[in-house]
Amino acid sequence: MGTVFPRTDNAGKTTFQARVRRKGFPALSKNFPTEAAAKRWVREREAELELGISSAVPQDTKTYTLSELIDRYIKEVTPHKKGHAVEETRLRALQRTDLAKLTLPELDRTHFKVYKDARLRVVAGSTVNRELNTLSHIIDVARKEWGISAGDNPVKDVSRPKNPPPRDRRLSPKEQVALFAAIADTRGGYLRHIVELALETGMRQSELVGLEWERVSLPKRTIRLMVGRTKNGHGRAVPLSRRAIEILESLAPEGGRRGDVFPGVTTEAVKRAFIRSCQRAGLEDFHFHDLRHEATSRLFEKDLGVAEVASITGHKDTRMLMRYTHLDASKLADKLG
């Protein structure tokens, strides 16, 4: 069955997408400047399908479910990404949805819109955007690299939810005391050290959990994060405060400083333990990543410049740091005299 529907871009320009769908075959689609041209293309493709002409019939007649594509993507693409473990967990969860049971020819933008709306009732818009972008990439890879005929990518026709404004949650001194008291009740003792180092260095959770002693130089008071081991892929040297040095010295193994600083600790374990500690401490709407924001804000409060802070935190776009300058107005007033 062939359909034609208009599409209007952000500039107000309207084009017409023609789509031909037939059970057992990937959807065929193409964009045209006029409705007449789109309808003509639909008639031609439908006629070719009736006659079995090869231009309309894919060479590989196997139909793949989205779950099968996800499985191949996890094996061939995900391992080469930073944060591959997290992505695999998310994709495995997606494989258990009804959406993943559908074949590529069956999928259209309506399915992904329904998925988007359902997810928005559970998670933030930024999470939904990441999921849709990954799904879109899976289909693009299937089409362009694996030679699987799929017509146009239907995910690209789904509008994205707006990302929420950047968080500006600060940790008050009273809240910090309560948080550390709650953390004292956790098993293992590692969480207090990780949280304190996050506040002292501005390092991300993944950077701290994956920290190795080979990257730590206590004499030089630095941690050197290597290229490819950070979120943006760029290496950086993180200066260590006196308190950070004390924490690391207390963690140093007697047999020599080799291997993981926090052996056996995973980001998921830290996440769960931190959430429980915040609940016990009575902290509302406070996430682990807010520790990085708090640390960055404190660096500005110590009168460091934007370039200096960027070299510590690893922000490549200094414009991202401008949101950290909304500091305590009373403290700024004191500086004004």
Query: For residue range 205-252, what is the model confidence (pLDDT) as tens digits?
Result: 989 999 999 999 999 999 998 765 556 566 788 999 999 999 999 988
Can you give the length of the chain in residues?
337
Q: What is the mean pLDDT of residues 154-175?
A: 87
Is 59 contained in some domain? no
User: Tell me: the pLDDT tens digits for 67-91?
Assistant: 999 999 999 898 888 777 788 989 9
User: 146 falls in which pLDDT band (50, 70, 90)?
Assistant: confident
**Which range marks the domain in which residue 27 is found?**
2-51
Q: Which residue has the higher pLDDT, 254 or 34?
A: 34
16 and 79 together in one domain: no
> Which residues are catalytically annotated?
204, 231, 289, 292, 315, 324
In terms of domains, do 186 and 263 share one? yes
Concatenated DSSP letters of 144-200: HTS-----S-GGGGSPPPPPPPPP-----HHHHHHHHHHHTTSSSSHHHHHHHHHHH
Domain shared by 139 and 214, yes or no? no
pLDDT tens-digit profile of 242-251? 999 999 999 8
Q: Tokens 């807010």 — which residue?
A: 290
Residues 82, 222: one domain?
Answer: no
Q: What is the pTM of this model?
A: 0.61
Q: Are residues 229 and 124 in the same domain?
A: no
Do 309 and 183 lie in one domain? The reply is: yes
Residues 104 and 242 in one domain: no
**Structural domain count of the chain:** 3
- Mean pLDDT, the chain, rounded, equals 84
Report the chain's terminal Cα–Cα distance, integer Å.
Answer: 75
| pLDDT for position 57 | 44
What's the CATH number where 288 sits? 1.10.443.10
Query: Per-residue pLDDT tens for 301-315?
Result: 888 888 888 888 888
For residues 194 and 318, state if they share a domain.
Answer: yes
Residue owning tokens 């099968």 = 68
Mean pLDDT: which of 38-42, 276-280, 332-336 is highest? 276-280
- Contact predicate 262/208, CB 8 Å: yes
Q: Is residue 89 domain-resident? A: yes
- 75 and 35 in one domain? no
